[in-house]
Homo-oligomer: A and B are copies of this chain.
């Protein structure tokens, strides 16, 4: 069993729900809305894996979502994630933290590390997006995978359609990276846009 926890802002906790749905094998209305996408990604990945004979085949049912935390506010970053000195937001909207792209990249990594630590899981995921493309991070004991969505939006001048498209891009990209990561296929991750991998 591989345990996973998320600390999400602009993805609204949907990543945790999607991963939980396919980990538990839920079907129909209760299934992951991104299941086809994920299946396709996994199929691609497995094809590569088999052809190149360089990675194992990970059964998604071996995942367990310990918790999925939707953390829009700076207060909850401190009280729930126990990040004592978070980056200073550019602005607060009803307590919701707003950063630019550089701030989001840093905060997504801090959030991923924090949720992994407080929930004692194998993998932590962090997401946040204010002004720009936002950022997502997947971390384990050895590695940080940092990336951004492919859609620009602005939480200060909100346009629901833009925000929705940025969220969708962020969810899809994170799930794809997670599947490749679980199948030890880092080359596929490196081929994606705006991805950086750091070793601890």
Residues in A lying within 8 Å of B, measured CB to CB: 1, 3, 5, 12-14, 16-17, 20, 23-24, 26-31, 64-73, 75-76, 79-80, 94-96, 118-120, 158, 160-161, 163-164, 167
Contacts and interface: CB of A to CB of B under 8 A. Distances in A.
Contacts of A164: 28-30
Those 3 A-B pairs whose CB atoms lie nearest each other, nearest first: A67-B76, A13-B13, A68-B70
Nearest to A75: B66
Max chain B C-beta neighbours (<10 A), residue from A1, A80, A95: A80
A66 B79 CA distance: 10
B70 A30 contact: no
A161 B29 contact: yes
B26 A17 contact: no
A23 B70 CA distance: 15
A176 to B, nearest CB: 21
A89 B120 CA distance: 21
A95 B66 contact: yes
A186 B14 CA distance: 32
Nearest to A17: B12
A1 B13 CA distance: 23
A5 B27 CA distance: 29
Given A68-B70, A80-B118, 20 more contacts: A1-B95, A5-B76, A12-B13, A12-B20, A13-B13, A16-B70, A24-B96, A24-B158, A29-B161, A29-B164, A31-B160, A64-B94, A64-B96, A66-B76, A67-B70, A69-B69, A69-B70, A69-B80, A75-B120, A79-B119
